């Protein structure tokens, strides 16, 4: 079902995030990867350390979600372009967010006290959702501009609301 697919994709993304964080903190190959061919181990570990793996998995998952969950049918090219915009915005903004926190942590703590962590999490979630919506609209408008609309399916409309 659609819910199970979405949950599976979310689990894959979380697993990739954990693997990338683990690879950044240690130089040892995990025990469960040691039986794999060396070239595959090396490629995955390089991708995890450079965050390239996280970017590729993020683009693939978001493009899949755009293809499955949007009420408007989009081409795979538009879905991949929107997913690339989302991943780029997310990866670039993460650096800006941490720089902002580094220089403003004291003023945030003095303003919000014990609730500062909650406020920062809410701001981050709001920003991520805004990036997701922006990239979704980018994919929809790219699809509309290219004139490549799919065929109507039950539950899918090829017309965008004005």
Q: Cβ neighbours of residue 1 under 8 Å, at least 6 residues apart?
A: none
The answer to whether residue 51 scores a pLDDT higher than 80 is no
- Among 10-19, 21-30, 75-84, 147-156, the minimum mean pLDDT is found in 147-156
Report the candidate in 37, 56, 17, 52 with the shortest Cα–Cα distance to residue 29.
37
Instruction: Residue 95: count other Cβ atoms within 10 Å of its Cβ.
Output: 9
Q: What angle do CA 90, 44, 92 make, to 5 degrees?
A: 15
Cα–Cα dist 131/82, whole Å: 10
- Nearest Cα to Cα of residue 128 among 96, 87, 82: 87
One-letter-per-residue 3-state SS of the chain:
CHHHHHHHHHHHHHHHHHHHHHHHHCCCCCHHHCCCCHHHHHHHHHHHHCCHHHHHHHHHHHHHHHHHHCCECCCHHHHHHHHHHHHHHHHHHHHHHHHHHHHHHHHHHHHHHHHHHHHHHHHHHHHHHHHHHHHHHHHHHHHHHHCCCCCCECCEECCCCC
What is the model's pTM?
Answer: 0.69
pLDDT in tens, 104-143: 888 888 888 888 888 888 888 898 889 889 999 999 999 8
- The tokens for 160 are 């965008």
- The more confident residue out of 83 and 151 is 83
For the stretch 60-84, pLDDT in tens is 888 988 888 888 888 999 999 999 9
């Amino acid at each position: 079902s659609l819910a199970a697919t979405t949950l599976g994709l979310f689990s894959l993304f979380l697993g990739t995030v954990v693997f990338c964080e683990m690879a950044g903190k240690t130089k040892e190959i995990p025990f469960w990867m040691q039986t794999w061919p060396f070239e595959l181990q090396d490629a995955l570990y390089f991708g995890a350390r450079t965050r390239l793996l996280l970017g590729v998995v993020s683009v693939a998952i978001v493009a899949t979600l755009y293809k499955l969950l949007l009420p408007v049918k989009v081409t795979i090219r538009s879905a991949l372009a929107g997913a690339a915009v989302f991943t780029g915005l997310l990866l670039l903004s993460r650096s800006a967010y941490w720089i902002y926190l580094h220089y403003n942590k004291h003023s945030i703590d003095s303003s919000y006290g014990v609730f500062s962590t909650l406020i920062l999490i809410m701001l981050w979630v709001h920003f991520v959702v805004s990036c997701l919506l922006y990239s979704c609209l980018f994919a929809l408008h790219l699809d509309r501009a290219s004139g490549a609309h799919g065929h109507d399916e039950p539950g899918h409309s090829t017309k965008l609301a004005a």
